[in-house]
């Protein structure tokens, strides 16, 4: 039981809500992990999620200016959306995984299931293309 209580305390969703609320502007067009679904819905910003990426038009992709994603997924997402992206340094990362080796003996693959992962989110912003005025 103590392990379950510790696990639940490490999944405090109010921290995710606060992170998203403090990081997103009302003018942002966001591509996000489902971890950020509820606070993004409350902010009412236009948001695309991973399930839609296969149907996304180039015009829609071009409007996205902010990513709220697990840093491990950012490089692939940046590549598929195109453009230049920059990490803002705004992160809510939860690398702590108490006693994984011990728990894996009793609960094999517990931390590998997507429903059992800790919240890990970072903000990335699209970098505006620079204009080369050197030819003038």
Please report whether residue 135 resides in a domain: no
Please report whether residue 44 resides in a domain: yes
Question: For the segment 44-70, what is each residue's pLDDT rounded down to a tens digit?
Answer: 999 999 889 999 999 999 999 999 999
The three-state DSSP-derived secondary structure of 3-57 is HHHHHHHCCCHHHHHHHHHHHCCCCCEEEECHHHHHHHHHHCCEEEEHHHCCCCC
Please report whether residue 132 resides in a domain: no
Q: Which domain holds residue 112?
A: 2-126
Least confident piece of the model among 3-17, 53-67, 84-98, 122-136: 3-17
Q: pLDDT grade, residue 96 (50/70/90)?
A: low
Q: What is the mean pLDDT of residues 13-33?
A: 95
Please report whether residue 114 resides in a domain: yes
Least confident piece of the model among 62-66, 115-119, 124-128: 115-119
pTM: 0.79
Q: Name the strands in the sheet holding 121-127, side by side, starting at the edge strand that comes first in the sequence.
A: 46-49, 29-32, 66-69, 121-127, 84-92
Res 94: pLDDT: 75
| 58 CA to centre of own chain | 21
Res 50: pLDDT: 84
Res 13: pLDDT: 86
The burial class, CB within 10 Å (0-12 / 13-18 / 19+), for 32 is buried
Res 102: pLDDT: 62
How many angstroms separate the CA atoms of 40 and 26, rounded? Answer: 10
**Encoding tokens for residue 73?**
């997924």
How many distinct structural domains can be found in the chain? 1
Please report whether residue 75 resides in a domain: yes
Please report whether residue 134 resides in a domain: no
Please report whether residue 131 resides in a domain: no
* 124 has pLDDT over 90: yes
Please report whether residue 12 resides in a domain: yes
């Amino acid at each position: 039981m103590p392990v379950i209580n510790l696990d639940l305390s490490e999944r405090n969703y109010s921290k995710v809500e606060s992170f998203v609320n403090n990081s997103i502007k009302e003018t942002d067009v966001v591509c996000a992990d489902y971890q950020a679904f509820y606070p993004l819905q409350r902010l009412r910003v236009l948001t695309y999620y991973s399930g839609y990426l296969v149907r996304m038009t180039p015009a829609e992709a071009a409007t996205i200016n902010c990513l709220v994603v697990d840093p491990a997924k950012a490089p692939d997402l940046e590549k598929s959306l195109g453009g230049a992206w920059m990490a803002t340094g705004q992160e809510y990362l939860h690398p702590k995984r108490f006693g994984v080796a011990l728990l894996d003996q009793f609960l094999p693959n517990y931390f590998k299931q997507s429903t059992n992962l800790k919240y890990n989110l970072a903000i990335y912003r699209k970098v505006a293309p620079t204009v080369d005025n050197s030819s003038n």
